[in-house]
Amino acid sequence: EDLLKNSDIISIHVVLGEKYKNLITKKELKTMKKTAFLINTSRGPIINEDDLIIALSTNEIAGAGLDVYEKEPLSENNKLRFLPNVLLTPHIGYVTAENYHIYYNQMIESLEACVNGKPIRIIE
C-alpha cells in the first residue's frame, strides 16, 4: 500500500498466475497518486483492464504504458486505444536493434550447427 501511495511510477514485473491475476484493481488504482503512471510489460490480466480504463478516463492516475493486454492482440475498438494518457506497444517492449541482432545471429549459428551435425544450445 505504501508503494502505491508514494510512487510516481509503478512498473509491474511478475509472472502471471492466480496469485497475481487482478493484482491491480480499482482499489489499488485509487491508492495511487493522481500524478502517478502505471507500466505493465508482464501480462495483461495482472491489471484489471476495466478498472484501469475507468481510472485513466477519470484522471484518477496520470497515465499508463502498456505492452500487454487482457486479450491479445488488442481489439481495434478497445477503449485503451482512444485514451490520450496511454502509451500502447504491441507486446514487443523488450525489442531493441541489439536484441534482434543477437537473436538472429544466434538463430543462424544454431541452424548451421544443426545442419553440420553439431547442435549447440541444447536444452536437456
Residues contacting 85, CB < 8 A, separation 6+: 56, 59, 62, 63, 64
Task: Tell me, yes or no, if 43 is annotated catalytic.
Answer: yes
* Among 1, 18, 43, 81, the one annotated catalytic: 43
DSSP class of 45: G
* Among 72, 81, 101, 109, the one annotated catalytic: 72
* Among 28, 60, 76, 91, the one annotated catalytic: 91
Task: Tell me, yes or no, if 121 is annotated catalytic.
Answer: no
Residue 91: count other Cβ atoms within 10 Å of its Cβ: 17
Task: Tell me, yes or no, if 101 is annotated catalytic.
Answer: no
- Cell 477519470 sits on residue: 58
Residue 23: count other Cβ atoms within 10 Å of its Cβ: 17
Task: Please say whether the beta carbons of 45 and 17 come within 8 A.
Answer: no
* Active site members: 43, 72, 91
